[in-house]
Structure 1
Amino acid sequence: MTALSASAPRSLGNIRRSFAPWEDGSQKPLIEFDRVTKRFGNFKAVDDLSLPIYRREFHALLGPSGCGKSTLLRMLAGFEQPTSGDVRLEGESLVGIPPHKRPVNMMFQSYALFPHLDVSQNIAFGLKQDGMARSEREDRVAEMLKLVKLESFAKRRPQQLSGGQQQRVALARSLAKRPKVLLLDEPLGALDKKLREETQFELMDLQQQLSMTFVVVTHDQEEAMTMADRISVMREGRIEQVAVPETIYEAPASRYVAGFVGSVNLIDGTVEERRGGALRIAASGGQTLQVESPLDLTPGTGVAFAIRPEKLRLSRTPPADPSVNALSGIVWDIGYLGDMTLFNIQLANGDVVRTATINAARASAEPLGYDETVWLTFAPDAGVLLAS
């Protein structure tokens, strides 16, 4: 195996696949939000937002409650109309077109299954409303049941199914009309953690199998990171960053994104000088940081250094050079999660820094305990500089 040269480009995280039409200038978006604003009275739920979504993309709208992500989805579905701006599908405006005439379908968080109909009848409901012939309808239902692996549950009522099975029925019903875009509003919110994790991969496989465009709304960062090709992180009706999951995590564009997606340590400081490809930072706690960064920042500029807990190396032994990229403190809190252990380390200035260690062995000869003095060190490329 040939080793990478020092100048070779490095990937942020592991690349799932090469699908990236947003990097190809010849590719046109399937969906376009063009300077869309949505007001409810004096409240601006979506604020002058533009976003392209591409054919066959699994796109996640991620953010806290009230950030506008569900409103954006409902405008695409036709349940809300934009106050200004345009929503286009394949270059054609959807503004004013009612939901039932749009080639999109929406799967709701509540599933909204009809309790008096069995599984087959629930899946067939929309097809029957559209006037599809009975034989064709039965064939389509059988196809959907096979797709979601519920063939043996065709005659059961929703109340006879588990939460995960109900979720699959709702998914099959949403796909039965073969929409160009499937919209999913918090689709896994009602499932327990283990089933939710299993279903994430099932949705990914299904989306690949159907070669369909999925747009999902979620406040669950892990869910978005697992399933999506790209994530739009939203805040107060605007998009803070749109990128692939590994970029969102490893190279957040703002303090907000860094803090919302995953756990992060933010250390404020001031630029002192540039040394080659690295910036020397005087941190607020008195430490000196040396950080690789492409940013062209002048001395005196305020910055924040964002570093994920797992990028910090934890040791009882001080490093050879404790003056740079080294933090010392005492163990303040310990959280044992099984696969990993979280440590909150209190520094001399009172700040608390979190680090995570993988429990690769079943037992440790000298486990760390409360109030022990420890050292945290990190590589110059372990974190990212953000505007302070």
Structure 2
Amino acid sequence: MAKTLGPVRRSFQPWNDPSEPAYIELRDVTKRFGDFTAVDRQSLVIYEREFFALLGPSGCGKTTLLRMLAGFEEPSEGEMLLQGRPLTGVPPHKRPVNMMFQSYALFPHMSVADNIAFGLKQEGMAKADIAQRVAQMLRLVKLEPFAGRKPAQLSGGQQQRVALARALAKRPKVLLLDEPLGALDKKLREETQFELADLQESLGLTFVIVTHDQEEAMTMADRIAVMDHGRIIQVATPAEIYEAPATRYIADFVGDVNIFEGQAERLEEGKLRIATTAGFAVETVVNGPSLPANGDTVWFAVRPEKMVISHDRPAGASSGPAPNMVEGEVWDIGYLGDVSIYNVKLACGDIVRATRLNAAREVERPITWDDRVWLSWRPDSGVLLAG
């Protein structure tokens, strides 16, 4: 069986099929607000039935992109198309898209059922059809017992479901979600992420979500576009974003990571040795069309969970300096229940982070503060990064 980067959530992968047409397409889209460029000449393709995430920090341009798709903003330059048809100049209420806001924007004086029915009434749908559609939406989001309640009588998670049902009631071709889970507590947010992903797959709709939460994007999305300063830096699946980040920025933004700078030395085919500024050597496998030249400055990233932490020098290692291992002192520990996080201080003063799965309730020779420990990793555990 062919190896993949991380688990595959589903076999749906239209971006790997050259014959698959674009559903949403951005062509050199720019948006300026006075002298400020919020989105800078960006192109993007999103496919039908895809759950797509725009991920990035505040001010990176992701919400501006979403608002342009919704019709609340018009591009300063470039084109936006849906099923090959231009969206420029089409007002929001005439676009086959709907948007779910972070605040939910429910009408407080209306019942749950009336909130869901509001858009359908505005379109002039027959009463019998509205009642049928509302009942369908209530079943979909599991809120049938709450149809007569007002929003103030619901929990945050229930309000979120009402807003989702209202957005889906008009059966849009595309549902746009602006930080939809931001108001929920951590546990409910994690549960809702899976529910939303399952709902999107069962409905067969195209979802585009904006979020600054990496775990949220990685849990729900088929693909993620990581943005920074108005530009899309990388578009890939969650596993590819995490395991093969295109730049140091993405490696640092998505999850925890240790990044080491050093000088490159070519070894045999596909292998590279890096003399790091931290005083130890890295040997890694490089899968790509080209290797850096001898003496080039490079950066190597390895995730904390890929590091093995132990009291003893790794078995089989010689007594002298060896690649892919370094000794240090435990500087701090974070116990999270399922995993423990160890911050290890090296002789040069750098802090390296490693995590260990707490698979057993009782541990012999537990690692604790001030212990001398060894960190080691496999040659294929890390990735070489572009500047």
TM above 0.5, yes or no, is yes
Matched, 1:126 2:125: no
The alignment's C-alpha RMSD in Å is 0.9
Map residues 362-381 of structure 1 onto 2, 5 A cutoff.
362-381=361-380
Corresponding residue for 2:109? 116
Choose from 125, 144, 156 the match for 1:151.
144
Matched, 1:306 2:324: no
Conserved? CA contact 1:30–1:52, under 8 Å: yes
Matched, 1:292 2:282: no
Corresponding residue for 1:37? 30
Separation (CA, whole Å) in 2 of partners of 1:21 and 1:362:
44
Matched, 1:240 2:239: no
Choose from 184, 190, 193 the match for 1:191.
184
Corresponding residue for 2:55? 62
Deviation at 1:365, TM superposition (A): 2.1
Deviation at 1:274, TM superposition (A): 2.3
Separation (CA, whole Å) in 2 of partners of 1:300 and 1:387:
15
Deviation at 1:64, TM superposition (A): 0.2
Separation (CA, whole Å) in 1 of partners of 2:160 and 2:386:
42
Choose from 250, 253, 257 the match for 1:257.
250
Deviations along 1:62-117, whole A, 9 cap, x unmatched? 00000000000000000000000011000000001000000000000000000010
Separation (CA, whole Å) in 1 of partners of 2:219 and 2:116:
27
Deviation at 1:276, TM superposition (A): 2.9
Choose from 132, 135, 140 the match for 1:142.
135
Q: Which moved more, 1:322-331 or 1:300-309?
A: 322-331
Separation (CA, whole Å) in 1 of partners of 2:233 and 2:168:
31
Separation (CA, whole Å) in 2 of partners of 1:351 and 1:109:
40
Corresponding residue for 1:324? 323
- Corresponding letter in the other structure for 1:26: S
Conserved? CA contact 1:302–1:387, under 8 Å: no
Gaps of 5+ in 2: none
SS in 2 for 1:341: strand
- Corresponding letter in the other structure for 1:331: V
- Corresponding letter in the other structure for 2:201: Q
Matched, 1:52 2:51: no
Corresponding residue for 2:347? 348
Gaps of 5+ in 1: none
Separation (CA, whole Å) in 2 of partners of 1:233 and 1:302:
25
Deviation at 1:363, TM superposition (A): 1.4
- Corresponding letter in the other structure for 2:355: A
- Corresponding letter in the other structure for 1:176: A
Deviation at 1:297, TM superposition (A): 1.4
Q: Which moved more, 1:55-64 or 1:361-370?
A: 361-370
Deviation at 1:316, TM superposition (A): 1.0
Could you tell me the TM-score, scaled by structure 2's length?
Answer: 0.97
SS in 1 for 2:105: coil
Choose from 210, 217, 222 the match for 1:217.
210
SS in 2 for 1:127: helix
Deviation at 1:371, TM superposition (A): 1.2
Deviations along 1:181-209, whole A, 9 cap, x unmatched? 00000000000000000000110110011
Separation (CA, whole Å) in 1 of partners of 2:133 and 2:308:
55
Separation (CA, whole Å) in 1 of partners of 2:60 and 2:373:
40
SS in 1 for 2:98: strand
Deviation at 1:161, TM superposition (A): 0.4
Deviation at 1:387, TM superposition (A): 2.4
SS in 2 for 1:281: strand
Conserved? CA contact 1:86–1:93, under 8 Å: yes
Separation (CA, whole Å) in 2 of partners of 1:352 and 1:128:
60
- Corresponding letter in the other structure for 2:370: D
SS in 2 for 1:187: coil
Separation (CA, whole Å) in 1 of partners of 2:128 and 2:238:
43
Corresponding residue for 2:171? 178
Separation (CA, whole Å) in 2 of partners of 1:315 and 1:296:
32
Aligned length: 381
Separation (CA, whole Å) in 2 of partners of 1:374 and 1:313:
10
Choose from 180, 185, 201 the match for 1:208.
201
